[in-house]
């Protein structure tokens, strides 16, 4: 008898493709939130598979904090060109200049929280009714109860008490005027699944994820890259070390790890042995245990 079992990666793939197609079918104008990080790259890869040989039938949306690593934007631009999709950039800088949000002050100011405002403005401007995000439930406690189709009210807010139950393969994307959805095709993936799938499918990832030499400094227990936005303060000194990133976001608060893992195989072995979650390196999540939940309620991805 033939074996009709699928490996865990192929089951996760099939599920994510189903969600991506369901999003295209149930919404009028979805967008794919593309940060340039591995989760959104994997999601884009799955979207390409879902609609092949057509082009991906929705635009990519990048919320640009202005604090990116230069490599992120280079990767983004060539990736988008290769896929032939439209790129919409929402700029946090513009929101600040318009006065719809204000820069945080203080020594540990970051623009991560400001992304919510820019995202909501972009959603409104582009009349997007669903935004596909690469969020995974294993990332953070507050995400464990997140739905695949996550309803947001007309203010873009997430109400943990008012989420729709999701049964079987049946997803309810119906909504009232002004409301929209966040959709998370990778909900059931873990960090490890993402790395393994990237290897299985030979997905090209930005060099930031692999060991390279870089000038870094240590702050609040995180290893931050020295960039235009992060420079040593008094009592801090920088040094060149061999590091890589487990997540890529705002350069002001994305921590690097010391590592010599230079390819996917080595990264997978390293993640398997690691005793710290990938978000453990993110300064913004360290502020408080409920940090993520608060940001989600305000419309953070």
Partner 1 sequence: MGEADAYLDMDLLRFTTAGSVDDGKSTLIGRLFHDSKAIFEDQLEAIERSSRKRGDDNVNLALLTDGLRAEREQGITIDVAYRYFATPRRKFIIADTPGHVQYTRNMVTGASTANLALILVDARNGVVEQTRRHTFIADLLGIKHVAVCINKMDLVGYKEEAYHQIVAEYRDFVSRLENVTELTFLPISALKGDNVVERSENMPWYEGPPLLYHLENVYVGSDANHVDARFPVQWVIRPHSDEHHDFRGFAGRVAGGVFKKGDEVTILPSGFSTRISRILSGSEERENAFFPQSVTILLKDEIDVSRGDMIVKPNNQPKISQDLDSRICWFSASRKLSRGGKFIFRHTTKEAQAIVSEINYKVDVNTLRKVEEIDGFEMNDIGRVMLRVSQPVFHDAYRSNRNTGSFILVDPFTNETVAAGMLR
Minimum CB–partner distance for residue 214 and partner 1 (Å): 23
Residue list 209-238, contact with partner 1 (CB under 8 A): none
Is 204 a binding residue for partner 1 by CB under 8 A? The answer is no
| Residues in binding contact with partner 1, number by CB under 8 A | 67
Number of alpha helices (DSSP H) and beta strands (DSSP E) in the chain: 8, 10
Minimum CB–partner distance for residue 89 and partner 1 (Å): 26
Is 141 a binding residue for partner 1 by CB under 8 A? The answer is yes
45: CB partners within 8 A, 6+ apart: 201, 203
Supply the DSSP symbol for 286. G
Do residues 181 and 32 touch, judged by C-beta distance below 8 A?
A: no
Residue closer to partner 1 (CB basis): 137 or 182:
137
Build a one-symbol-per-residue string for 156-195: x at contacts with partner 1 by CB under 8 A, - elsewhere.
Answer: ----xx-xxxxxxxx-x-xxx----------xx-x-xx--
Q: What is the dihedral of CA 294, 39, 251, 212, to 10 degrees?
A: 150
Residue closer to partner 1 (CB basis): 23 or 122:
23
Minimum CB–partner distance for residue 79 and partner 1 (Å): 17
Residue closer to partner 1 (CB basis): 59 or 280:
280
Q: Cα–Cα distance between 118 and 127 in angstroms, integer?
A: 14
Q: Cα–Cα distance between 218 and 236 in angstroms, integer?
A: 7
Minimum CB–partner distance for residue 157 and partner 1 (Å): 14
What are the percentages of helix, strand and coil residues in the chain, rounded to 5?
35, 15, 45
Q: Cα–Cα distance between 184 and 133 in angstroms, integer?
A: 5
Is 154 a binding residue for partner 1 by CB under 8 A? The answer is no
Pick from 29, 145, 233, 258: which binds partner 1 (CB under 8 A)?
Answer: 145
**What single string gives the DSSP state of each residue in 110-168?**
-STTTHHHHHHHHHHHTT-SEEE----GGG-GGGTT--SEEEE-TT----GGGPPP-BT
Residue list 83-122, contact with partner 1 (CB under 8 A): none
Build a one-symbol-per-residue string for 24-63: x at contacts with partner 1 by CB under 8 A, - elsewhere.
Answer: xx----------------------xxxxxxxx--------
Q: For residue 212, give both structure tokens.
A: 């390279």
16: CB partners within 8 A, 6+ apart: 43, 46, 185, 186, 189
Build a one-symbol-per-residue string for 258-287: x at contacts with partner 1 by CB under 8 A, - elsewhere.
Answer: -------x--xx----xxxx-xx-------
Minimum CB–partner distance for residue 99 and partner 1 (Å): 31
Minimum CB–partner distance for residue 114 and partner 1 (Å): 22
Is the peptide bond prior to 53 cis by the omega test (within 30 degrees of 0)? yes
State the residues that interact with partner 1 by CB under 8 A: 2-15, 17-18, 21-22, 24-25, 48-55, 137-138, 141-142, 144-145, 160-161, 163-170, 172, 174-176, 187-188, 190, 192-193, 196, 200, 265, 268-269, 274-277, 279-280, 289-290, 293
């Amino acid at each position: 008898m033939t074996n009709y079992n699928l490996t865990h990666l192929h089951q996760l793939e099939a599920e994510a493709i189903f969600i991506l197609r369901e999003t295209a079918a149930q919404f009028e104008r979805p967008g794919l939130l593309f940060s340039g990080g591995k989760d959104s790259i994997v999601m884009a890869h799955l979207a390409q598979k879902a609609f092949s040989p057509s082009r991906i039938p929705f635009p990519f949306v990048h919320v640009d904090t202005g604090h990116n690593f230069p490599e992120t934007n280079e990767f983004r631009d060539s990736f988008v060109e290769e896929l032939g999709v439209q790129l919409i950039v929402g700029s946090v800088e513009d929101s600040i200049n318009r006065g719809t949000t204000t820069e945080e002050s203080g020594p540990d100011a970051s623009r991560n929280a400001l992304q919510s405002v820019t995202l909501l403005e972009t959603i409104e401007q582009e009349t997007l009714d669903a935004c596909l995000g690469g969020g995974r439930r294993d990332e953070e406690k507050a995400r464990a109860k997140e739905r695949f189709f996550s309803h947001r009210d007309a203010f873009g807010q997430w109400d943990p008490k008012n989420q729709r139950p999701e049964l079987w393969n049946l997803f309810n994307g119906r909504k009232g005027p002004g409301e929209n959805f966040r959709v998370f095709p990778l909900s059931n993936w873990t960090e490890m699944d993402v790395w393994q799938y990237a290897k299985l499918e030979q997905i090209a990832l930005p060099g930031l994820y692999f060991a390279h030499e870089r000038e870094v400094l240590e702050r609040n227990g995180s290893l931050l890259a020295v960039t235009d936005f992060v420079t040593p303060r008094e009592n801090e000194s920088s040094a060149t070390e061999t590091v890589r990133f487990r997540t890529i976001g705002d350069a002001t608060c994305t921590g690097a790890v010391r590592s010599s893992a230079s390819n996917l195989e080595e990264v997978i072995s390293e993640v398997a042995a690691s005793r710290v979650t990938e978000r453990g390196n993110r300064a913004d999540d360290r502020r408080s245990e409920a940090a993520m939940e608060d940001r989600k309620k305000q419309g953070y991805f």
